[in-house]
Amino acid sequence: MRSSLRVLKTVQKLEVVPKVPANSTVFSLLQPTGNIHLGNYLGAIKAWKNISESESPNSRYIYGIADLHALTMPQDPNKLRQCRTEAVASLIAAGLDPQKCTIFHQSSVPAHTELTWILTCITGMGFLNRMTQWKSKGQHAESSSIFDDKILERTKAGLFTYPVLMAADILIYNATHVPVGDDQSQHLELARYLASSFNHQYNTDHFVIPTTLLSRSQKILSLRNPQKKMSKSDPDQMGCIYVTDDADAISKKVRKAQTDSIQGTIYYDPVQRPGVSNLISIIAGVTNRTIEEVEAEIKHMTSHKQLKDYTAEVLIEEFRPKRAMYDKLVNDPAYLQSVLDEGTAKAKAIADANITKIRTLVGLN
């Protein structure tokens, strides 16, 4: 109960133009899954960009690629290398300014894994067992338990314990604010719990208790099946829009999006009109507006075609310059490496100073 109360006090919904207090440290990571799709873009990267451009004196913004997290599932080494490069290019093409943000690969800063071990030693198995991500990624039922022999045999330790690595990612920078989607809020609860537990166990106030910044963007659903999330792994790729899609591809996918048989006024109702509501959510997310503002703007529309045409227009305009920038960046590995070198140096300086203090607190120094 106490941890639940802490969560309620430290979760903040992002505004249309998000702001954080002065002297904040904003941190988040994105897995290197190759091309960035619309759900990733609106749920994470666009929010990161908006936060980094808000007026917040003396704040720092640390964004990276969670390549260690990627190892919790089988990876082809060459494909992973390619995805790491594409992910960095996608972040910059989507609008993150390397002069304002620290951009780096998680694996390039060893303090992440050292703090992970220290935190693992104070993490209860029961807490990890209640996490839902290891169950969904392992294709287990939500009611599954690691203490079931069959589940135990099929579950890799890295997948089960990776929320501790996520907590270490956040705490190694003493992040004050962490922008995430709803599906990651449970992991932030663990990060806050471990920060509090460490402080209590070692009689210190070393770790800041981070605040969750929940993305204001609605969950983006598959264009072809608005009952499930937009996903790169969806067998029907017509349901998934990528930042690198050209105008023709975007138009074709949106044109074939599932809507409904309701005629007349277009309005938002995610229960009765999930397909239409998904398109409205996309427009709102891309244009930095609320659902209500978009509804007011499109109230004159009386056909699904009008809504689809407008959705496609908004997406094409948003992604045209980003696609051009992405193509340029992936063909300039020297520039990408220079961004990573600078970002790694900045991240490592912060993390190394922190882990030195942590070693002293736990008796390793």
* Domains of the chain, start order: 25-219+333-362 (3.40.50.620), 237-329 (1.10.240.10)
pTM value > 0.75:
yes
pLDDT at position 8 = 36
Contact 93, 318 (CB under 8 A): no
Supply the residues annotated as catalytic.
Answer: 137, 229, 232
In the chain, count H helices and then E strands.
16, 6
Average pLDDT over the chain reads 90
Average pLDDT of the segment spanning 331-360 = 98
Can you list the alpha helix ranges (DSSP code H) found in 172-230? 185-201
pLDDT, tens digit, 9 for 90 and up, residues 198-220: 999 999 999 999 998 877 667 89
Highest mean pLDDT among 30-34, 298-302, 304-308: 304-308
pLDDT at position 11 = 56
The radius of gyration of the chain from alpha carbons, rounded to an integer in Å, stands at 21
**181 vs 243, higher pLDDT:** 243
Q: Token pair of 183, please?
A: 């599906």
Does the structure show a pLDDT above 60 at 58? Answer: yes
Give the whole-angstrom CA distance, residue 291 versus residue 297. 10
pLDDT at position 365 = 85
What percentage of residues in the chain have a pLDDT greater than 90?
73
Residue 236 region by backbone torsions, left for phi larger than 0, else alpha for psi between -120 and 50, else beta: beta
pLDDT band at 182 (very low <50, low <70, confident <90, very high): low
